[in-house]
Amino acid sequence: MPILPFLRSSSHLTKQNRSNTFNLFPLLSFSTTTAAAISEQHHSPPPIRVALTHSSGRGVFATRPIATGDLIHTAKPALCHPSLSAINSVCYSCLKKVPNSNSFQFQGVLFCSQDCKRRCNEYYDVEMKANWTAFDDYCRNRGLKYPFMVKRLACMVISGVSKSDSLDILQPANLTSDMILEMEEEFALLRNAFSKTSIADEHIAFLTKQWYISVLARIRINAFRIELVGGLYEDLLSSLVASVEAEAAVGNAVYILPSLYNHDCDPNAHIIWIDNADAKIKALCDIDEGEELRICYIDASMDRDARQELLFQGFGFQCNCSRCLQGD
């Protein structure tokens, strides 16, 4: 279940209610170097830290007051992939929409610029070495999108642009035996595609069934569905409409830091994509120092039971946000 961006205009809760008084155990703080990788637009580390919450695992907390509308940080995807329906209209690398006349076509896929093509070159070369017909058909026929992300990650690892354990920090989904059976079939097709290439065995040694399932379990719970707001963003903010009139999703992406944000049905932060898969996390209201920053994974305009059901089915948790606890 991908995390959906959602912009809320009204606050259901008072500032007092929102503020979580959890004991904080610092897990990560951001050095200037780490911060630079996360947030190109900040000259200082982003005003956040990751710490344990009482009952929702790790969460992201403000290290200073943050004002409504502030850009908290930006984040580049650790992994992204276009939706199959958008594959002929968005950049294969950054998911930016590309009019055909502006694009660079390369072996059947689109790039928005030479830079994106260059960035993608190494792992796309690996991808092009294998015959993906059986794997792609299997996933397409079942409407599966996340296996395409695992395929990309595998190509990135083989080409050396990513590490096989790059998503290990993320929380994995609980999997049923049916899910595992389906993943085993996908894995067999993926492994088979690579083993018929000239890629040396040592370069695909990481590609075990366990690796495949563990990556997919993390993607399932942490992938964001990317809906570009483009030039609409400023209009949306000024009119404070209740939800983003999003265009169809252009793809899915996994980030490291944004995946540590917990959910709230009355969020104080949100994640947006302007014209490509680079994410911006913004404050929806004034946030106090020490307050947990939470985004909304779903459409919060649904009633409580529908939200609880969706969060349980899609993400495997019972929402403990103040709005749900109050029965709103």
Could you give phi then psi for residue 67, rounded to 5 degrees? Answer: -90, 155
Measured from the CB atom, is 27 or 36 closer to ligand SAM? 27
Residue 177: CA atoms inside 13 Å, Cβ hemisphere, count?
Answer: 0
For the CA atoms of the chain, what is the radius of gyration? Answer: 20
Q: What is the b/e burial string over 71-99, where b = at least 16 CB atoms within 10 angstroms of the residue's CB?
A: ebbbbbbbbbbbbeebbeebbbbbbbbbe
Report the residue from 262, 266, 279, 307 that binds ligand SAM according to the rule CB under 6 A.
Answer: 262
> Of 79-87, 189-197, 277-285, 317-325, which segment contacts ligand SAM by CB under 6 A?
317-325
> Of 10-18, 140-148, 193-201, 256-264, which segment contacts ligand SAM by CB under 6 A?
256-264
- Going by C-alpha positions, the residue among 139, 148, 154 that lies closest to residue 197 is 154
Measured from the CB atom, is 98 or 296 closer to ligand SAM? 296
Task: Say whether residue 162 binds ligand SAM (CB under 6 A).
Answer: no
Task: Say whether residue 321 binds ligand SAM (CB under 6 A).
Answer: yes
Task: Say whether residue 56 binds ligand SAM (CB under 6 A).
Answer: yes
Task: Say whether residue 314 binds ligand SAM (CB under 6 A).
Answer: no
Please give the Cα distance from 143 to 43 (Å, whole number).
Answer: 42
| CB neighbourhood size of 152 (10 A) | 20
Report the residue from 285, 299, 316, 322 that binds ligand SAM according to the rule CB under 6 A.
Answer: 316
* Position with the least CB separation from ligand SAM: 57
Residue 316: CA atoms inside 13 Å, Cβ hemisphere, count?
Answer: 11
Our measurement of the distance from residue 5's CA atom to the centroid of its chain's CA atoms, rounded to an integer in Å, reads 10
Report the residue from 260, 284, 295, 298 that binds ligand SAM according to the rule CB under 6 A.
Answer: 260
**Smallest gap, in angstroms, from Cβ of residue 3 to ligand SAM?**
7
The residues, ordered by sequence, that sit 6+ positions from 178 with a Cβ below 8 Å of its Cβ are none
- Beta bridge mates, 225: 252
Task: Say whether residue 171 binds ligand SAM (CB under 6 A).
Answer: yes
- Going by C-alpha positions, the residue among 98, 91, 156 that lies closest to residue 123 is 156
> Of 55-63, 202-210, 228-236, 300-308, which segment contacts ligand SAM by CB under 6 A?
55-63
> Of 71-79, 131-139, 153-161, 262-270, which segment contacts ligand SAM by CB under 6 A?
262-270
Sign, Cα dihedral of 319, 320, 323, 327: positive
Task: Say whether residue 315 binds ligand SAM (CB under 6 A).
Answer: yes
Measured from the CB atom, is 2 or 45 closer to ligand SAM? 2
Report the residue from 58, 81, 97, 152 that binds ligand SAM according to the rule CB under 6 A.
Answer: 58
Type of residue found at 294: R
Task: Say whether residue 8 binds ligand SAM (CB under 6 A).
Answer: no
Residues at the interface with ligand SAM (CB under 6 A): 56-59, 171, 221-222, 259-260, 262-264, 315-317, 319-321
